[in-house]
Each structure stands twice: as structure tokens, then as C-alpha cells.
Amino acid sequence: QVQLVESGGGLVQNGGSLRLSCAASGRTFSLYAAGWFRQVPGKEREFVAAMRWNGGMRTYADSVKGRFTIARDNAKNTVYLQMNSLNPDDTDVYYCAADRAVVARASNQYDYWGQGTQVTVSL
């Protein structure tokens, strides 16, 4: 089993930045990919970014490309999502996910999920 714990969400002004963290524990050696998704209640979970667990092969949603960066700290077993130039449309609950087989944009491909962290961008 793998446990994922997100942190770093909060309230930020339009144009501001936040960095989300996702700390992984457990059988992390079995992981192939990490991803970030976001969701507004009542809507589908939306892909944000993903990468291979050991680095490389990064992919982003068009809506965040050039503003968000996914990265990993091997020593800390932590995946980050650096979010710059935030706007109110980025307001969501953000979820970290991990998968054992593929770097994917579909949420149903992921095996493990964190509890989510709220990001709110004010005007």
C-alpha cells in the first residue's frame, strides 16, 4: 500500500503563487507515475499534471501549461506542484495521485489518492 498526504493549499490573490506538496510513504518503490488533479464539487475530476515517479516525462493540461510545474524530490519521496500566475478559475480542491503502471491523464488509471487540499484564488 501507498499513502499520499497533500499540503500547501490556501487562499491566494489573483496572480499569486502556491506550491503544493504530496508526501508519499509505504511501498513507493512500486510506483511508476505521479499526478495532480483538481475537482469542484459536482464536477468531474480534472487532470492537471503528471510525471514519471523517478523523474522525466512530464505532461500538463493546456489550461495550466506554462504556469504550473510538477517536480519530485527523490530524497524526500515528495512530489510538488508549483503554481504561478494563479487566477480564480484555478480555485479547486487539488488531489495528488500515484500509479503503478502508466503516466496517464485519466483519473481512473491511478491507484492511490491523497485526501485533497483546497486552493482558493481571490480577485
* pLDDT tens digit sequence for 25-57: 999 888 899 999 999 888 999 999 999 988 879
Question: What per-residue confidence (pLDDT) applies to 55?
Answer: 82
Arithmetic mean of pLDDT, 86-93 = 97
Q: How far is CA 95 from CA 6, 123, in A?
A: 7, 23
Place of cell 523517478: 54
Question: What per-residue confidence (pLDDT) applies to 49?
Answer: 98
Give the span between the Cα atoms of 80 and 57, in whole angstroms. 15
Average pLDDT, the chain: 95
Question: What per-residue confidence (pLDDT) applies to 64?
Answer: 98
Give the span between the Cα atoms of 18 and 69, in whole angstroms. 11
- pLDDT-based confidence at residue 75 (cuts at 50, 70, 90): confident
Question: What per-residue confidence (pLDDT) applies to 52?
Answer: 94
